Amino acid sequence: MQLLPTTVVGSYSVPEWLERLKTDYHRRRLSAAHLSEIHDAAIKAAVKDQELAGIDIVSDGELRRDNDVDYLLARMPGVRAATSSKSFYFDYYDLTVTSPLGTEPVGLAEEFRFTRTLTERPVKFSLTGPFSLSRRLRDEVYGDRRELVLALAHALNAEARALVEAGATMLQIDEPFLAGYPEQVGLAVEAINVVTAGVEATWALHVCYGNRYARPSWEGHYTFLFPAVLDAGVDQLVLEFARKGDEDLPSVAELGWDRALGLGVLDVKSEQVETAEVVAGRILLQTRDVQATLLGLMRVVERSGVTLAELTSSQSTLEDVFLSLTGRQYVGEDGDGKTDRREDGENDGRGRRGRRSRRGGGS
């Protein structure tokens, strides 16, 4: 079993050219067939980028999605949009439930199948959770918030079953709105258990404080999840700790979480590019068994072809190890190879490291 498997969370950084083309589609200047071909090319690049970065469990970067809600709700039977166009692709539709929600899959399994053909590595597929979806819907049918959330959960359960039939083994529920309504965590967990019921997959739950235009939507601490989240039928809890680790990480353990924990170690809301030393330090601080972690890191380094002697020499740094592991190229500030030309994982220099993407995602 791999000691420290790595993965990504949220939307990949959307380059400006893709933003323009997505917006052209929503302004009816581009056909759906043309946009689909563009999405295919962008996802191929995102998957390759993750492979080059050494990511163990890859995703499609959610690059087909216009935002975290509309990609799913706008395709559901029983949901009506006030208009079919947008000024900017990332804007939210004004959506209304006008008839009981069905449980027919809306096609996400086909999106998974496409990504599955691009890589030999495990693929994770994410779904926005029923509680968060409900916060962007006007209800003309159910008349009760709980009934609406549970109806959405049943629809997502059908979607998850279709994904597993297509070969998905790792599914993640994202609840980006839950932090804004901490008193509703019990309802959210009840709905999550409807989504996962009878679906044989490794399930992760991701909760964050929102990331729209590189800014959090809410502030707070993960303690609000407990004790309700202990009843969630998931295998992993995936949280952002690059900003909150020192405060919130001990609380998660103290409050009784006894399953896998996904540790977010990159701050996607910051313009500052983390060095390899900073990321390694966060990993070590956030793992229970530092000695085992160090041994695991050493084995990874050795498999990459970097010798331990090189690591201990005065000419080799953690940045050099990072470059060897990922295949990235450096161009030094003064020619000595100390400044990274490229960017890491989710952010490719056209998001937070260069022109900031207007698209949200991640934590």
Q: Per the structure block, which two tokens stand in for 193?
A: 């258990």
How many angstroms separate the Cα of 157 from the Cα of each of 6, 61, 109, 128, 197?
Answer: 26, 22, 13, 12, 7
Q: What are the residues facing 171 on neighbouring strands?
A: 125, 203
Both tokens assigned to 63 = 């690059």
Of the chain, the percentage scoring pLDDT greater than 70 comes to 75
Average pLDDT over residues 168-184: 96
| Model pLDDT, residue 291 | 54
182: preceding bond cis by omega (within 30 degrees): no
Cite the beta strand spans of the chain per DSSP E: 79-81, 95-97, 124-128, 137-139, 170-175, 202-207, 236-240, 260-264
The CATH architecture that domain 16-273 belongs to is: Alpha-Beta Barrel (3.20)
Residue 298 scores a pLDDT above 70: no
With 80 as the cut, is the pLDDT of residue 25 above it? yes
Separation of alpha carbons 18 and 41, rounded Å: 11
With 70 as the cut, is the pLDDT of residue 103 above it?
yes
End-to-end CA distance of the chain: 27
Q: Can you give the residue ranges of every domain in the chain?
A: 16-273
When mean pLDDT is compared over 88-102, 231-245, 318-332, the highest value belongs to 88-102
DSSP result, 13-63: PPPHHHHHHHHHHHTTSS-HHHHHHHHHHHHHHHHHHHHHTT-SBB--TTT
So what's the pLDDT on residue 268?
81
| Exposure letters 20-54 (e unless 16+ CB within 10 A, then b) | ebbbbbbeeebeeeebeebbeebbbbbbebbbebe
How far is 330 from 336, CA to CA, in rounded Å? 9
State the pLDDT at residue 188.
98
Q: Could you report the per-residue pLDDT of 50-95, keeping only the tens digit for each?
A: 999 999 999 999 999 999 999 999 999 999 999 888 899 989 999 9
**Interval 243-287: pLDDT, tens:** 766 678 888 888 999 999 999 988 887 888 888 888 888 887 776
Report the percent of the chain where pLDDT is more than 90.
60
Mean pLDDT along residues 149-174: 98
Question: Residue 149 above 50 pLDDT?
Answer: yes
Q: What is the pLDDT of residue 326?
A: 47
Does residue 355 or residue 11 have the better pLDDT? 11
Confidence of residue 356 (pLDDT cuts 50, 70, 90): very low
Please tell me the pTM assigned to this model. 0.79
CB 162: neighbour CB atoms within 10 A? 19
The pLDDT, as a whole number, for residue 324 is: 47
Q: pLDDT for 284-296, tens place per residue?
A: 777 655 555 556 6
pLDDT at position 69, please?
A: 95
Question: Residue 122 has what pLDDT?
Answer: 97
Q: At 151, is the pLDDT very low, low, confident or very high (cuts 50, 70, 90)? A: very high
Using 50, 70 and 90 to split pLDDT, how confident is the model at 316?
Answer: very low
* pLDDT level of residue 358 (50, 70, 90 thresholds): very low
